[in-house]
Amino acid sequence: MIDLRSDTLTKPTEEMRAAMASAEVGDDVYGEDPTVARLEEHVAGLLGHEAALFTPTGSMANVLAVRSLVGPGQEVLCEASAHIARAELGAHGAYTGLTMRTWIHPRGQVDLGAIETIFAPDMGPFFVPTAAISVENTHNFAGGAVLPLEDLRDLREYATGVGIGVHMDGARLWNAHVATGTPLAEYGAVADVLSVCLSKGLGAPVGSLMVGSRDAVAEARIWRKRMGGGMRQVGILAAAGLHALDHHLERLADDHAHARLLAEACEVDPATVDTNIVVVRRPDAADFVAAARAEGVLISAVGPAAVRLVTHLDVTREHAEHAAAVLSRLS
């Protein structure tokens, strides 16, 4: 089976397992795990921020990050198909007590005009005040679309002007970085706080980080414990993340090339495929998924008329070519 359902499906390589097995560890709730500390410092440095916090999931990193900017009874603005709005089971409302309002963009992009229209300044005890804007780069449900740096800089300038924060859900920021050559720190500079995932295309089994100022991260450390996310000798997982950043970052370019190959096979314009996700629009999504499965290719329906293909570490060139041949035959 060639599994194109998600880039979370990767299995740790032998080398990654060896790095995990030999990791130096300590009790991280005591702040004594040297490998976790190394990972947190490394990722904060890559993004040009003061500090970072290792979390079990990207959802938790997002909840911690957004709550550092938005309090109970305040709102965050985001694109309507953002992961924080659609795929975190209401965690931000359930834990933080915030609300969301959204703008719609078919490619998940920043729409400054729409944002300016819905932004609500603090007008006293009558209306919900907007406390932050959240963007997702790359945008998962928009098919791995990259948010251009110029748009993010404009957004940053706008947010600063109206006195609110910017959160970036960077679960796949690595893909944006590799696809565009934009230094990670340039992306880091347009947000007060970010989340990044190690367990997507980078191929680690677990782990994300919340990244921001020393103060925001210190407070997030308390909230992580409060939410039940304090972890002990977790350096064995941080070691997987460090290994992934050293060995699996630049190769994301291969995933992007494989995604374009699959796009062509499915009659999707490869120019619309920025990174490792291909969304195929067709009215018979469920039948297409079943037919592909019967030929050994796993893909997923993400709506009645949309199918998603995701390339990753465990999809080789040969796999991609074989899957492309199968999907082309079925298209």
Ligand X SMILES: *Cc1c(COP(=O)(O)O)cnc(C)c1O
Binding residues for ligand X (CB under 6 A) = 57-59, 62, 83, 136, 140, 169, 171, 197, 200, 208
Nearer to ligand X, 59 or 96 (CB): 59
Residue-by-residue DSSP string for 286-313:
HHHHHHHHHTTEE-EEEETTEEEEE--T
Q: CB 49 → ligand X: shortest distance, Å?
A: 18
Q: CB 309 → ligand X: shortest distance, Å?
A: 15
Q: Provide the β-strand partners of residue 234.
A: none
Using CA atoms, how far apart are residues 304 and 285, in angstroms rounded to an integer? 6
Nearer to ligand X, 172 or 258 (CB): 172
Nearer to ligand X, 83 or 221 (CB): 83
Token pair for residue 111?
Answer: 């729409």
Q: CB 21 → ligand X: shortest distance, Å?
A: 24
Q: Please enumerate in sequence order all residues whose Cβ is within 8 A of that of 132, keeping only pairs 6 or more positions apart, or say none.
A: 66, 69, 70, 76, 77, 159, 164, 165, 166, 167, 192
Nearer to ligand X, 83 or 260 (CB): 83
Q: CB 63 → ligand X: shortest distance, Å?
A: 9
Using CA atoms, how far apart are residues 188 and 191, in angstroms rounded to an integer? 6
Read off φ and ψ for residue 248, nearest 5 degrees: -120, 5
Nearer to ligand X, 55 or 130 (CB): 55
Q: Please enumerate in sequence order all residues whose Cβ is within 8 A of that of 149, keeping only pairs 6 or more positions apart, or say none.
A: 180, 182, 186, 187, 190
Q: CB 297 → ligand X: shortest distance, Å?
A: 22
Using CA atoms, how far apart are residues 221 and 211, in angstroms rounded to an integer? 11
Q: CB 136 → ligand X: shortest distance, Å?
A: 5
Q: CB 83 → ligand X: shortest distance, Å?
A: 4
Using CA atoms, how far apart are residues 73 and 256, in angstroms rounded to an integer? 40
Neighbours of 131 (CB within 10 A): 20
Per DSSP, helices labelled H in 130-169 are 149-162
Q: Which residue is nearest to ligand X (CB)?
A: 58
**Sheet with 208-212, side-by-side order of all strands:** 51-55, 208-212, 193-197, 165-170, 130-136, 75-79, 99-103
Nearer to ligand X, 201 or 235 (CB): 201
Nearer to ligand X, 35 or 140 (CB): 140
Nearer to ligand X, 56 or 235 (CB): 56
Q: CB 74 → ligand X: shortest distance, Å?
A: 21
From first CA to last CA, the distance across the chain in angstroms is 19
